[in-house]
Amino acid sequence: MESDSCPKCGGKLIKSGFAIRSGGKRQKYQCKECGYVFVEEKGEGRGDL
């Protein structure tokens, strides 16, 4: 993940817990503007928000 913006609306993201997948634990993010929730995919590094 290259930016700290929502892929749907461009709004600011906040961390929203974790999702457990077969590949392991993945960070979840939620947009403060539109409420869109998504999971960081394997190989995407976000760093700290």
Q: Which amino acid is at 4?
A: D
Return the C-alpha torsion angle 34, 6, 31, 14, nearest 10: -170
pLDDT at 49: 47
pTM above 0.75, yes or no: no
Q: Which residues pair with 20 in a beta bridge?
A: 25
pLDDT digits over 1-49, tens only? Answer: 556 899 999 999 999 999 998 889 999 999 999 999 999 876 555 554 4
